[in-house]
Amino acid sequence: MSLVDLRTRKTSRGTVVLYHGSSCMDIEKFDIQYSRDYLDFGVGMYFTTNREQAMLWSITKSRFGAVYEVEIDLDQVDLKQFLRYDNEFINTFCLCRAGFEPDANAIKGYNAIYGYMIDNDRAAIVKSTNDYVIGKATEAEVRNSIRVFESKDQLCIKEQWILDQMQIKWKGITEKVDGFPRGDRRSVKWKK
């Protein structure tokens, strides 16, 4: 299994369209200070090419949220892409998720990291990453214990100057729908 090179998604303007989902409904500019530690590719602001995925992100912390559409010129960034679910990806994912981002050699020197979304089974992710970091699990064992979403991707922007160049092109308000499990696409809808 492999992702498609993000650079092949360029529009006629030479940019790539991305989406960001947030419980904050009044973002005018993205600010890296609102990033958290222990994320898939470390500290940064996360975007996806999948608008439906951004919708799900928008309701993770509240009943209402927003999806923001932006464009980015990838020729201006140092982009690391994990296009395969391989050992390099597993190593980087586990180190970043366990809080050892500075030890993740594969992303040093890059200011944008692109790759897979991992299953949202938090318990399995925490156990697998911790086992890997302390040497109790190999890359193959981690790969077998956590699931990758083949159709969902993410781009982590790690530097504020890149975020400053992004203009919000569109914003849609979302609402959580009760009765569906977290992560189910039916659990969110566009608010009228």
pLDDT digits (tens, 9 = 90+) for 109-137: 999 999 999 977 889 999 999 999 999 99
The DSSP letter of residue 39 is -
**Count of C-beta atoms within a 10 Å radius of residue 17:** 17
Identify the pLDDT of residue 119.
78
* Two structure tokens written together for 129: 């990453």
* pLDDT tops 90 at residue 7: yes
More confidently predicted of 110 and 37: 110
How far from 165 is each of 24, 32, 77, CA to CA, in Å? 20, 13, 11
- What is the average pLDDT score of the chain? 94
Q: Please, how many CA atoms are within 13 Å of residue 55, restricted to the half-sphere of its CB?
A: 18
Could you say which of 3.30.1330, 3.40.50, 3.30.450, 3.90.228 is the CATH number of the domain covering 6-190? Answer: 3.90.228
C-alpha to C-alpha distance for 190 and 192, rounded to whole angstroms? 6
Average pLDDT of 43-61?
A: 95
Least confident of 79-88, 90-99, 181-190: 181-190
Q: Please, how many CA atoms are within 13 Å of residue 120, restricted to the half-sphere of its CB?
A: 9
Least confident of 104-108, 127-131, 188-192: 188-192
How far from 160 is each of 1, 74, 113, 151, CA to CA, in Å? 32, 15, 14, 28
Q: pLDDT tier at 1 (50, 70, 90 boundaries)?
A: low
Identify the pLDDT of residue 12.
92
Kindly state the percentage of the chain with pLDDT values over 90. Answer: 88
In one-letter notation, the amino acid at residue 157 is: I
Any idea where the domains of the chain sit in the sequence?
6-190
